Structure 1
Amino acid sequence: MDRPKHLIRKRLNSLLFSIDTYPLTIVEAPAGYGKTTAVKDYLSGRRDDVVWLSFQRMHGLSEIWSRFAEEMGKRDPSIGAKLAELGPPADTPRREKAFSILNELELKRSVVVVLDNYELAVGTGLTELLLRLGEEDIENLHLAVLTRDTSDFDLALSLARERCCVISRAQLKFTADEVRGYCMLTQFRITDDAVNKLIVYADGWISLLYVMLAGMEKGIPIGMTPTLDELIDQTLFQVHNENIRHYLLQLSVMDSFTARQADSVTGRQDSYELLRILRKKNAFIQYDGQERLYRIHPVLLDFLRARQNFSSEEERALYARLGEWLLQENDLRPAYSCLARAGKTERILSHMNRTLPIRNLYTDFDGADEVFESGSQELLTEYPVAYLRYLFFSMVSGKKSVVADLPRRLDRLEAVFRRKKGIGGVERDRILAEILCVRKFTAFNRLKAMHAYNDEILRLLNGRQSSIMLQVNEFTFGLPHYLYLYFRDAGSLKSLAELSQYNFHPAFSDGCGIGSDSLALAELACETGDFRTAVSESRKAVYKAETKAQISIMICARFCGARANFALGQLQTARELLRALREDAEKQSNPIYLSMARLCEGYFCVPLEMPIPQWLKDGRLSSLSLYFGGMGFDRLVYGKALLAQGEYLKLEALSDSFDASFSVFQNRLGFLHGAILRAAAKAHLSNAEAAVPELIRALDMAKPDGIVLPFAECARHLLPVFRALPKKAHEDTFARRAQEICASYLEAVRPLLSEDRSLTAREIEVLRCLDRGLTRNEIADRLFISPGTVKTHLRAIYQKLDADGKVSALRAARQNGLL
C-alpha cells in the first residue's frame, strides 16, 4: 500500500479551535491516534505563528528549551536572551524565573507553542511551569501539549477555572464517515459492512485502520489477525526485503537522525536512497524538513525495538558507532551512555582521561556505576583522571558508597602510581597532584586541613593546571556565605579569614576561588560590625572574581555587601547589590547559583520585612539545588521566614531539627542564628524575660569572635529581650555592643520598614480590570492610557502585593480585601 494521501478531518478542526481560545490545550491519546497530524492540519498555513517543539528520548529538555528561547527571541529579543541565559527550567528556582520572564513577554499577535511527544518530558518539572502559564493566561500565548500520558498533570484547578482544555482519545477516534472518506481518498473500495467491521475492530485507531486496510489489500480478512503487532509485521515490516528490514531495526536504536548519521550508525553508505524509498512507501517514516531529521512513527518504533534481535556483537557495534557520533557532536553524557551499552569501557575512560576541561558532572551517565564500580582496578588505574573525576563528582553529590570508601580508594591509587614503572616523572607528579586535589576534599569544611594540601599540589603540578579542579566548579558549594562553610570552633573566625589570604587553590584550578581572600575579610568585618571595611573588601572580591567568572564568589560578595550597606543605611546601594546578585545567578544555566540567589533574597525577610517568596512560605526547601544538603543554611533562612510570618510556635518546634542540620558539619554560625531565632520566638510566645536564657546562650556563642550582625538583623524582635537582661549580663561589654548595633541597625533600615506598600487609585482600577479578564490592550482602552503604562502599573502592583504574576496578584488582592 503506497504512502496514503491526507484526510482533512473538519470535525477535529472545530475541536482544536480550543488551541486559539484557551491558554493551555492538552491533546491526550496513545501513539497512532493521529494527534500530531490533526494539530498540524489545524495549524497549517500559520508557520510564523507556530512554534513546534518535539521531545526525543535521548535529547530532552535542554534542546527543547534552546529552540523555545530562540523562537521567543524572534518575537521579543530581550525575552529570548533571558530565556537562553536561564537555561532549561529543570528545578524550582529556574521554573519560577522562567515564569517571571515569560510574564514580561509582549506578543503583537497570537503565537501557538506546540510540545509534541510530551510524555518524554514527564519528570523534568516542566509541567509545573506549563500549568502556571496556563493559569496566568499570558496575552497572545497559547500552549498545546500532545502527549500519551497526562499523569504528570494536576488539571483539576485549571479545568475548573477554564484555563485548560483537554481533547481525549475518544474525541480523536476515526468515525465511520471519516473511514469512508479516507478510503475514497486512497481509492480503496470498501463496503459499508467492512467499514463497520473496521470501526469495531480498530475502535477508531488510525494506525490500526491503516495497517488493517493494508492487510485487506493483501487478502487478510478483517479480524483474522488478532494483534496490532502481527498486522504491523505483515503490512509494514515483512513487505520489505531482508536488507531493509534489518536496516529498520538498526535505525530503531535512535529517536531521530539525519541520513548521514544513519549511514554512520548502521555502517552503510546508501541511507539517502533507502530513506527516500521508505518515506515514499511508508507513512510511518517521517521527515521534518525544518529540522532536517527523520523520525520513525512511535507505533512502528515500539514494534521495531521490541523485535531487535541483534547478535550481542552487532548490538555493541551499533551503540559504539552511535556513541562515537555523539562524541563528535560533543554530546558527552548520551555518548558515554551509548558507549557503556556497547561495552566500550576503555573508550569512555580514555576520552574522559584527557586533560581537556571535561566537566566532572559528565561522569554521571547511564551505566557509569558499571564502568567505575565494576571495572577492574587495573583498568581504572590506567585512566586515573577519568576515575578521579568520577570519585570527585560522586563525593560532592553525596553518593554514600563512594564517600565511605573514598580514602581507601585514593590510598590504593596513590600507592600504584608511586611504584608504577614506565611512567615519566612529570606524568607521575601530575597524577599524584590530581589525587591530592580530590583527597583535600576528604577534609571538607576544615579549611586549615584543606589548605595543607595546596603547597604539595602546586609543587607537583609545577605550573600546570588541574584537570579536575576546574574554573567552572562552584567554589562555595552553593552557599552564599564562604566563612559559614568553615567556621566550626569558637574564636576561630578571624584566623579562618587570615588563612584565606593564603589560598593557592586558584593557582592550579584556572582561577577557581579567586577573590575568596577579599571575600573572607569582608565577611569577617561584616559579622563583627566593621561595615565599611566589609563594603570595600566585598567590592574587591567582586572585581577579582569577575576576572575568572567566579559566580559563587560574586554572589557571596554581593550578599555580604548588601548586608553591610543595609546596616549603614545605604538602602538603595544594598538593593542594587541584591539585584546584581540575582542577575549574576540568572546569567548562568546552573541551578546551584539560582538557589544561592534565592537563599540571599529569603534571608532579608526578617530584618527588612521584605516579601517572602512563595517557595519559602511553603517551606519547599527540597526545591533548592544544594550540595551537602545546604549545610543548614537553608534551614536558617526558613527559620527567618517563619519568624517574619509570625509562625513562632512552628519555629520553636522546628528549632531542634535546625540544630541537627547545623551539627552535620558543625556550622557555628548556623547554631548562632538558631539560638537567636529561638530567643525571638520565645519572646513572642511568652515574654521578653522568658527569652533571656536563649539570648544569653547566643551571646556566649558569639562573644569569642565578636559576632554582632546576626543580632542586629533580628533587632526588632530582640531589643525588648536585651532590655530584660539581668544586670550582670547587661553590663557585659560585648552584650552592650550587640545591643547598640541592634539599635543603630533598626534606625538605619527604618525607612524600609515604614515604606508605603498600598496601591494607588489607578493601580486599583487596573487590578479590577485584570480581575474582569481584560487584556493589557483592553485595560488601556478602558482607562484611556497606553499599553506601556498598563505594564508599568502591573509591575508596581505585583511588587506591592509580593506577586509573580496575574493569578497570584489577584489572590493576594482578595486576601487583602482589595477586590
Structure 2
Amino acid sequence: MNGKSDQTKQLYFTPRLLETLKSIWEYPLTIVEAPMGYGKTTAVKHFLEHTKADVLWLKVYDELIDHFWDEFSTLFGNYNESLYQRFIQVGFPNDAVSLRETLKLMGTLNLVNPCVLVIDDYHLIDSPELNRLITTLAANEVEGLHIVLTGRYTKLHHLEELSLKGILHHVTKESLEMTENEIIDYYHACGVIINEKQAKWLFDATEGWISALYLMLLSYLKDGVLEPPESIYKLIEKIVYTPLDDDAKALMTMLSIFDNFTLKQAVFIWDGQSAVQILENTVQKNTFINYDVRTKNYQIHSLFREYLREVFETKPSDFKMRLYRQAAAWYSKQQDFFTARQFWYRCGDFEAILQSIKTEKVKNSTAQSVKALYKYVKECPPAIKGRYPYALLILAMHMTLHNEFQIFGQLCREAAENAGGFSEAQRQAFYGELELMQGIAAFNDLDQMAEHFDRAWALLGTATSVFDTNSDWSHGSPSILYLYYRESGKLQTHLKTMIEKLPHYRRLTRAHGNGAEIIMEAECYYHRGDFVNAEISLNKAMHMAQSSDQWSIELSGIYLQMRIDLMKQDYQHMFELLHRMREEMTKRVEYQYLHKVELCEISFYAQLDQKYKIPDSLGRPEQGDIRLLYANYGMFNIIYGRVMLINERYTKILGSVPHFLQIASIFPTLLSSVYTYLYSAAANWKLKRIDDAREDLKKALAIAMPDQLYMPFVENGDYLEPLVKELVFSDCYREDATYILMLYKTYADAKEAVKQKYFPEDKDKLTDREYEVALLASKGYTNKEIAEKLYISQNTVKFALKSVFAKLAIGSRALLKQYFGKTE
C-alpha cells in the first residue's frame, strides 16, 4: 500500500451501484436492503441529490406509528396545506376504509416533477399495517411518485410477486458490497494506492463492507499499518472516539440518547453555549456525524451511536438519571409530552408524568399513546399516584374512548380513593366529574346513565373540563335505536327515559349528541311502518343536531332518511343523501366519521343486493380491515349478515350465529339479536333446514313483536317471505305477519324499481376498450402490463380505468375483481 492522503471525506460509489439505483425511476417501489454500515442511506441520498426530482425524506427513529404518520402527513402537506390536516384527520390507515381514503388523497397531489419518498431505516418500525400501506401505494401507482425504503431488513410479503409484476426493484447488500477491483478504485479515489494482493486481503477481511473498509483506511492513514479488524467497535473506538477531546467525548455521549437533535437541543443538554463550538469542530473533523439542512437536525451515524450508547451505559446511575431529566425537560418545553414522558419514565419521575397528564389533558390521544400512559400509571408508586386524582380521571376518560372499560373502572376507583386532600368545593367538583365518567361508562343502561348525570349536574353545575365533547356520541353506529334497545317489550320506556331524563347530560357536555333521542323516536316509528311520523320526528332531530353542530347525529339522521326514502320511492333524494354523506364528511375534514359513512353505504348497497359494490375486505373486522368501537360491533353484524346473505354464504352465517349473539348480549343490543335470528332463519331456509328456519323466525318475532318492530323482517322479506306467509294461516303472530307482508309488498316494489333505474346490467355501458382494460385490471395486471398487452399507453389505461370506475360506481381494483366475478 503506497502513499498517504486525507481525501477520505470524498464519497465514493461504485458504477455498478449507481447503475442499479437508476432503476428507481422505472418502479413505484424500490427497497435498498442491507445490514448496518453498508452505506444504504448515503448512496440513495447522493444519487437523488443529482436528480431533478422532489425528494421527501422520512427518517424512522422508532417503532411508533403515530410519529411516522405525522411526518408522512407533514411531508405531503408541503404540496398542499390542507393535505396535512386531511391526513391527520384520517389517521394512520390501518384498515381498508382509511386506506382507500388515503389513496384518494394521494391521487390529488398533481405532481409536476417526479417525486421520491424515501423512508430511511424502515426496519425500525416493522409494522404489518405500514407494510400494507406501502405495497398498496406502490400497486396503485400514484402518478409521478416513487417510494424508496432503506433498511437492514424488510418484512414485506410477496416480494417475489411484487418483483414479477414490475412493482418492486429490490437492491440487496450484494449491490452495496465492493469487489476487489472496486476496493482498489475506492482507495485510489481517497489517495491511497493498493495492489491486487492487498485488495484481496481487504476483501477477505471485510467481505466488501464499506464501513470496515473506511475505518481500516483511516487506521492506515493514522498509523501507517494495515491490520485486520478485531471488531468494528474496536475500530470505531480507535479511529473515531479516541481522537476526540474530553468535552467532545462527553457531549457526543450525552447526545447519543437521542435519535437526532438540534443545535438548541445540544446547548440545552450541555447547559452552555460552548456546545456550539464543540459540535461544529466535531462535525468538521468527523464523517460519522451528519447535519440535515432541511430539518436542521444532527444525526450520529448508527454505528457510532451504538458505540456511544455502550459508553453511556457505563456511566454512574446519577449521571444517567440527570441526563434523562434534562431530556424530558427539553421535550416538555417543546410541548412534546409524549416523548417527555418516555424520558421521565426512564428516570422514574412519575410525579412529572402525572402532572403532565393533568396539565395537557392528553389531547388527540391514540390507542398507542393511551397504552403507554396506562403502563406508566400502573407502575407509579401509590403515594405519588394519590396526589393526582384528576390525572387518573383524565386517563380514565381516554380509556372509554378506546373501549377499555375495565381499566376505566379501576382508574375511577383509584381516583376516588385519592380525592381526600381536596377542599369541600374541590371535592364536590371532582365527584361531579367522576359521576359524569361513570354515567358514560354505564352505557347502554339509560336509567343508570340518567342517575349519574343528574348527580353530576348537582355536584358540578357547569360543563365538564375532563370529557372530550368532540367525540362521536353514537360510538360510530348509524342507528341510535340499535345502541339503546336492550329489553324486549320496553322500547317505549327506553325512549321515554332518553327524552325525559338526559337533559343534564346535554348541559354537562355542551349539547353533545343533541337530537339523538328524537332520532331514536324516528327510528321507532320507521320500524313500526309509520313513515309519516318517522319523517316528522327526523326533521325535528336534524334541526337540533345542526344547531349544535352534531355531525355524528346528522349522519344517523341521513341514514334513516335514506331508508324512509326507499319506502316512499323517492330514489333521487336517496342517492343525493348518499352522495352528500361522503361529500360533507370530506369537506368538513370529519374523518373520524369516515367508518360510519362506510357502514351506511355498505348497508345501502346490501339492501339493494349490489354485492359487487361492497369491498370484500370489509367483511373481516377481526383482521383489522375496518375500525370499530366495541359498542358498534353488533351494528356491524347487522349489516355484515345481510352482506353474507346476498353472497349466498349460508353456512358461514350459521357458523357465525353464536358469535353474533354473544356480541349482542354484552350491553345488550337486542336489535342485533333480532337480525341475527332472521339471517339464521333465511340461511336455514335456503339450506332446506325448514324446521330450524321456522324456529329461528319465532325467536326473532318473540323479541321484536312486543315492540312492533316490523322492518327487520320487511328488509329481509326476499329471504323470509315464505316463512312469514305460513304464519298468516296459523294461530301465532297472524296479524303481525299480515302487516309485515303488506309492508314488504311496498318495499319489494320500491327496491325493484330502484334496481332497474340505477343498477341495470353495467357491462353494456362499457366500450370495448374499457371492458378489455377493466377485465385485465380485475385480474391483477398493473397499468404498465395492461398497456403492453393492449399496445396502448399507460395514460390511456389510466383514462379508461377512471371512466370504468365512474360508470360502474366502483372505487377500486378489488371491487372490479368482485364485479367481473359476478358477470362472468
TM-score of the superposition, structure 2-length normalised?
Answer: 0.89
Residue correspondence of structure 1 range 504-653 to structure 2 within 5 A = 504-546=504-546, 549-583=549-583, 593-610=593-610, 611-617=613-619, 620=622, 622-628=624-630, 630-653=632-655
2:769 pairs, out of 759, 765, 768, with: 765
- The equivalent residue for 1:351 is 356
C-alpha contact 1:136 1:807 (8 A) present in aligned 2 = no
- Offset of 1:326 from its aligned partner? 2.3
Q: SS of 1:283's equivalent? A: coil
Distance, in Å, in 1 between the alignment partners of 2:360 and 2:294 is: 38
Larger deviation: 182-191 or 790-799? Answer: 790-799
The Cα offsets for residues 656-694 of structure 1, whole Å up to 9 and x where unpaired, read as 221111112221111111111112112211177763332
Larger deviation: 160-169 or 310-319? Answer: 310-319
Distance, in Å, in 2 between the alignment partners of 1:43 and 1:552 is: 46
- The equivalent residue for 2:431 is 432
Q: SS of 1:452's equivalent? A: helix
2:125 pairs, out of 121, 129, 151, with: 121
- The equivalent residue for 1:282 is 286
- Offset of 1:26 from its aligned partner? 1.0
C-alpha contact 1:651 1:681 (8 A) present in aligned 2 = yes
Distance, in Å, in 2 between the alignment partners of 1:714 and 1:555 is: 23
The Cα offsets for residues 147-189 of structure 1, whole Å up to 9 and x where unpaired, read as 2221244323212322212110111112333323332332234
The Cα offsets for residues 89-119 of structure 1, whole Å up to 9 and x where unpaired, read as 2444312321344356654553322222211
- Offset of 1:778 from its aligned partner? 7.8
Query: Which residue identity is paired with 1:281?
Result: K
Query: Structure 1's 763 and 298: CA in aligned 2 closer, same or farther, altered over 3 A?
Result: farther
C-alpha contact 2:53 2:116 (8 A) present in aligned 1 = no
1:64 pairs with 2:63: no
C-alpha contact 2:783 2:797 (8 A) present in aligned 1 = no
The Cα offsets for residues 515-539 of structure 1, whole Å up to 9 and x where unpaired, read as 3233322333333333344445445
1:308 pairs, out of 306, 312, 318, with: 312
1:798 pairs with 2:797: no
- Offset of 1:801 from its aligned partner? 5.8
Distance, in Å, in 1 between the alignment partners of 2:239 and 2:709 is: 79
Larger deviation: 436-445 or 204-213? Answer: 436-445
- Offset of 1:301 from its aligned partner? 1.9
Q: SS of 1:53's equivalent? A: strand
1:493 pairs, out of 491, 494, 503, with: 491
1:268 pairs with 2:278: no
Distance, in Å, in 2 between the alignment partners of 1:365 and 1:323 is: 18
- The equivalent residue for 2:20 is 15
Larger deviation: 216-225 or 633-642? Answer: 216-225
Query: Structure 1's 37 and 359: CA in aligned 2 closer, same or farther, altered over 3 A?
Result: closer
- Offset of 1:220 from its aligned partner? 7.5
Distance, in Å, in 1 between the alignment partners of 2:132 and 2:38 is: 26
Residue correspondence of structure 1 range 50-199 to structure 2 within 5 A = 50-57=55-62, 60-73=67-80, 82-83=86-87, 85-103=89-107, 106-107=110-111, 109-123=113-127, 125-199=129-203
Q: SS of 1:16's equivalent? A: helix
- Offset of 1:625 from its aligned partner? 2.6
Query: Structure 1's 404 and 471: CA in aligned 2 closer, same or farther, altered over 3 A?
Result: closer
Q: SS of 1:66's equivalent? A: helix
Query: Structure 1's 306 and 532: CA in aligned 2 closer, same or farther, altered over 3 A?
Result: farther
- Offset of 1:343 from its aligned partner? 2.1
Distance, in Å, in 1 between the alignment partners of 2:574 and 2:61 is: 45
Query: Which residue identity is paired with 2:47?
Result: Y
Distance, in Å, in 2 between the alignment partners of 1:542 and 1:157 is: 51
Larger deviation: 402-411 or 570-579? Answer: 402-411
- The equivalent residue for 1:484 is 482
Query: Structure 1's 81 and 455: CA in aligned 2 closer, same or farther, altered over 3 A?
Result: closer
C-alpha contact 2:241 2:249 (8 A) present in aligned 1 = yes
Q: SS of 2:386's equivalent? A: helix
- The equivalent residue for 1:752 is 754
- The equivalent residue for 1:658 is 660
- The equivalent residue for 1:234 is 238
- Offset of 1:805 from its aligned partner? 3.3
Query: Structure 1's 406 and 40: CA in aligned 2 closer, same or farther, altered over 3 A?
Result: closer
C-alpha contact 1:333 1:362 (8 A) present in aligned 2 = no
TM-score of the superposition, structure 1-length normalised?
Answer: 0.89
The Cα offsets for residues 305-334 of structure 1, whole Å up to 9 and x where unpaired, read as 233233332322322232233233332322
Corresponding pairs, count: 804
C-alpha contact 2:615 2:815 (8 A) present in aligned 1 = no
Larger deviation: 81-90 or 171-180? Answer: 81-90
Distance, in Å, in 2 between the alignment partners of 1:112 and 1:659 is: 49
C-alpha contact 1:3 1:280 (8 A) present in aligned 2 = no
C-alpha contact 2:247 2:278 (8 A) present in aligned 1 = no
Query: Which residue identity is paired with 2:529?
Result: G
Q: SS of 1:445's equivalent? A: coil
The Cα offsets for residues 341-378 of structure 1, whole Å up to 9 and x where unpaired, read as 23221122222223867456589457534542233444
Query: Which residue identity is paired with 1:488?
Result: R
2:216 pairs, out of 209, 212, 217, with: 212
Distance, in Å, in 1 between the alignment partners of 2:650 and 2:199 is: 71
5+ residue gaps, structure 2, are: 1-5
Query: Which residue identity is paired with 1:61?
Result: F
- The equivalent residue for 1:330 is 335
Identity %: 24
Larger deviation: 537-546 or 624-633? Answer: 537-546
C-alpha contact 2:37 2:211 (8 A) present in aligned 1 = yes
Q: SS of 1:354's equivalent? A: helix
Query: Structure 1's 70 and 3: CA in aligned 2 closer, same or farther, altered over 3 A?
Result: farther
- Offset of 1:506 from its aligned partner? 3.0
Distance, in Å, in 2 between the alignment partners of 1:334 and 1:555 is: 37
